Amino acid sequence: MVAYTVGASGWTDDLTKFSEEAGGAKHYMDVASRANATNSLKKYLSSPKPVLMDIGCSSGFMLHELRKQFPGAAVLGSDYVRGPLDSLARDFPEVPLLQFDLVACPLPAKSINGITLLNVIEHIEDDVTALEQVFRILKPGGVAVVEAPAGPGLYDIYDKELMHFRRYKMSGLLRILKSIGFEILQKSHLGFFVYPAFAATKKWNRRYLSSDANVKTKVVASSINRGKNDPVLYGIMRMENLLRPFIPFPFGIRCVVTCRRPVSETESALNG
The band of 108, judged by pLDDT with boundaries at 50, 70 and 90, is: very high
The band of 92, judged by pLDDT with boundaries at 50, 70 and 90, is: confident
**In sequence order, which residues have a C-beta less than 8 Å from that of residue 107 and are 6 or more positions away?**
98, 100, 137
Q: What is the DSSP letter of 272?
A: -
Domain extent listing, the chain:
16-263
pLDDT at 219: 57
pLDDT at 162: 86
Q: Which of 20-29, 115-124, 221-230 has the lowest mean pLDDT?
A: 221-230
Name residue 257's beta-bridge partners: 146, 187
The band of 213, judged by pLDDT with boundaries at 50, 70 and 90, is: low
Q: Kindly report the CATH number that applies to the domain delimited by 16-263.
A: 3.40.50.150
pTM to 2 decimal places: 0.88
Structure confidence by residue, pLDDT tens digits, 225-237: 665 667 889 999 9
- DSSP track, 67-133: HHH-TTSEEEEEESSHHHHHHHHHH-TTS-EEE--GGG--SPTT-EEEEEEES-GGG-S-HHHHHHH
Residues of the chain with pLDDT > 70, as a percent, come to: 81
Structure confidence by residue, pLDDT tens digits, 164-173: 999 999 999 9
Structure confidence by residue, pLDDT tens digits, 141-168: 999 999 999 999 999 888 888 889 999 9
The band of 207, judged by pLDDT with boundaries at 50, 70 and 90, is: confident
Q: Which of 45-49, 64-68, 222-226, 257-261 has the lowest mean pLDDT?
A: 222-226
Is the pLDDT at 12 greater than 60, yes or no?
Answer: yes
Is the pLDDT at 59 greater than 60, yes or no?
Answer: yes
pLDDT at 212: 67
Q: In what order do the strands lie in the sheet with 51-55?
A: 2-3, 97-99, 74-79, 51-55, 112-118, 138-149, 254-260, 183-190
pLDDT at 20: 60
